[in-house]
Amino acid sequence: MEFYEAVEKRRTVRDFTEKRVPDEILNRILEAGLKAPSHDHARDWHFVVLRRPERIAEILRHVAGGAEVQTDIINHWNTATECQKSMYYDALPKQVKMLSQSRCLVLPLFRAGADLMTPRDISSLNSFASVWCLIQNILLAATAEHLACSLRIPIRDEESYVLQCVHAPEGYRMPCYLAVGYAAPDAKIIRQTELSVAERIHAESW
Ligand SMILES: Cc1cc2nc3c(=O)[nH]c(=O)nc-3n(C[C@H](O)[C@H](O)[C@H](O)COP(=O)(O)O)c2cc1C
């Protein structure tokens, strides 16, 4: 698939089939991730790949399910657009399902800088910024392989639980859970807010 086509086609998918993602395709996608730019030229990144449904369920034990949908709160966000609201209505009840349904859950791990959580300046966040470059490469590579992805950011005690569960070495962090799989034929794709480049470019000065 041509690069701009992959950029255009990459969308968050939260409904998957159970069709197995072949190892060789998954490896290619993760390899694309490992080619991403990194702040220290170290690329200190690893992946824990989970395939077994019972292991995935164990890892997702602390992820809240559909009962946590707080639609009334979303409705009261007066800053949220209809586009954003429809995303949250779709996404919130699907968090566990979207990460387990494809039976291919990838946990990207990165070695965090010592001052990540107490940043002195923007560069303290470099290890975190770099791992998001890796994640974007994976999302685009998956699209080019006709696969789909969804991701979730761990909140509260989810991350520490997962890191302990997978025996991550000291100093490693998990920026997100990443599900890779084949989109269900009726997968819901939320409309993206359309942006105009012309309105966002500020020649010489804003
Ligand atoms: C930093 C970041 C955090 C996100 N967190 C979540 C999340 O916790 N759960 C979820 O379902 N989607 C999450 N998403 C996916 C976004 O909801 C999605 O990218 C956005 O709605 C735009 O849709 P698109 O990816 O189809 O363009 C996240 C995306 C990013 C980049």
Q: What is the 3-state secondary structure (H, E, C) of 153-183?
A: CCCCCHHHHHHHHCCCCCCEECCCEEEEECE
Q: Quick one: pLDDT at residue 67?
A: 45
Top-confidence residue, 178 or 85: 178
CA 170 to ligand 1 centroid distance, Å: 28
Please give the structure tokens belonging to residue 6: 């992959």
Q: Which residues contact 202 (CB under 8 A, 6 or more apart)?
A: none
Q: What is the DSSP pairing of strand 148-152 with strand 105-111?
A: unpaired
Taking the C-alpha atoms of residue 14 and residue 86, their distance in angstroms, rounded to an integer, is: 13
Q: Is 50 exposed, middle or buried (0-12, 13-18, 19+ CB in 10 A)?
A: buried
Q: Quick one: pLDDT at residue 141?
A: 98
Q: Is the pLDDT of residue 4 over 70?
A: yes
> What average pLDDT does this structure show over 142-156?
97
Q: Which residues contact 89 (CB under 8 A, 6 or more apart)?
A: 69, 71, 74
CA 98 to ligand 1 centroid distance, Å: 12
Candidate from 11, 105, 143, 151 with most ligand 1 atoms within 8 A of CB, to mutate: 151
Q: Which residues contact 102 (CB under 8 A, 6 or more apart)?
A: 16, 17, 18, 21, 179, 180, 181, 182
Cα angle 163, 168, 172 (rounded to 5 degrees) comes to 85
Q: Quick one: pLDDT at residue 92?
A: 87
Mean of the per-residue pLDDT values of the chain: 93
> What average pLDDT does this structure show over 99-123?
96
Residue-range domains of the chain with CATH: 3-200 (3.40.109.10)
Q: Is the pLDDT of residue 50 over 80?
A: yes
Atom of ligand 1 at shortest range from CA of 95: 11
> What average pLDDT does this structure show over 118-142?
97
> What average pLDDT does this structure show over 193-200?
94
Cα angle 153, 156, 162 (rounded to 5 degrees) comes to 70
Q: Is the pLDDT of residue 16 over 60?
A: yes
The percentage of the chain sitting over the pLDDT mark of 70, rounded to a whole number, equals 95
What is the residue with the minimal CA distance to atom 20 of ligand 1? 12
Q: Quick one: pLDDT at residue 84?
A: 84
Q: Is the pLDDT of residue 99 over 70?
A: yes
- H or E segment and range at residue 59: helix 53-59
Q: Is the pLDDT of residue 184 over 80?
A: yes
> Quick one: pLDDT band at residue 39, thresholds 50, 70, 90?
very high
Ligand 1 first shell, C-beta below 6 A = 11-12, 87, 91, 150-153, 190, 192
